[in-house]
Amino acid sequence: MITRNIALIVLLASLPSFSQTISAPQEKDFSESESDKQAKDREQPIKIVKYLDFTKSEYERSRLSLLDDNQKNAVEKSAAIAEATSYEYTVRGKTYQTLAHANDFKQEGTASWYGPGFHGKKTASGEIFNQNELTAAHKRLPLGTKIRVTNLKNGKSVVVKINDRGPFHSNRVLDLSQAAAQKIGLLHSGVTNVSIVTVK
């Protein structure tokens, strides 16, 4: 009897204990690292929602009312860029091609001036015309270009900024503000021959 009890005890001792703690299986971490997320972001395709071609007539200032607010802002903010690109515009049935840049531009021809009738009105550049400032209108030079205008009759000269388009007369190349015209002695004669060179 004692032998049987000893054998039973040995047998029970050799069996695995079910009171032992069974560790739960480790869960795999599927969360992405920050570097993986950044890599995926870089791989995402870029979708172009709308492309505005500022050289097209549909985006001229006179037709901005046809665009939504976001497009209006884009056109206004990109006015300087648009002016730096050669484009066409039509006045009185005649089409003019602007210059993409004014590097080493030179010209001779007839200049006139304008003032009171246009004072306070918006120019082609969007600026308000002030007859007392040294500005001018040219059909082709990029808006914002600075030029030296010399009266070929008396040698007087003045530096002006192009901020408007014109004059739209076949025999004239430049329209000066009243202040600029006074500087070169053009007020009384109304028109005179001038030379134009760009100022860097």
Tell me what the mean pLDDT of segment 116-132 comes to.
94
pLDDT band of 189, cuts 50, 70, 90: very high
Q: Mean pLDDT lowest for which of 18-27, 69-78, 127-136?
A: 18-27
Every domain of the chain with CATH number 2.40.40.10 lies at 106-198
Tens-place pLDDT, residues 168-180? 987 999 999 999 9
pLDDT at 86: 85
pTM of the complete model beyond 0.85: no
Predicted pLDDT of residue 41: 47
Cα separations in angstroms, 126 against 33, 59, 67: 51, 14, 18
- Mean pLDDT on 187-195: 96
Q: Which residue has tokens 């306070």?
A: 120
Average pLDDT over the chain reads 76
pLDDT confidence of residue 200: 82
Summarised one tens digit per residue, pLDDT across range 45-103 is 444 444 444 444 444 454 555 555 555 555 555 555 544 578 899 998 999 999 999 98
Contact of 147 with 159, CB cutoff 8 Å:
yes
b/e per residue 138-177 (b: at least 16 CB within 10 A): bbbbbbebebebbbeeeeeebebbbbbbbbeeeebbbbbb
The stretch 151-177 carries a mean pLDDT of: 96
pLDDT in the model for residue 180: 98
Q: What is the CATH number of domain 106-198?
A: 2.40.40.10
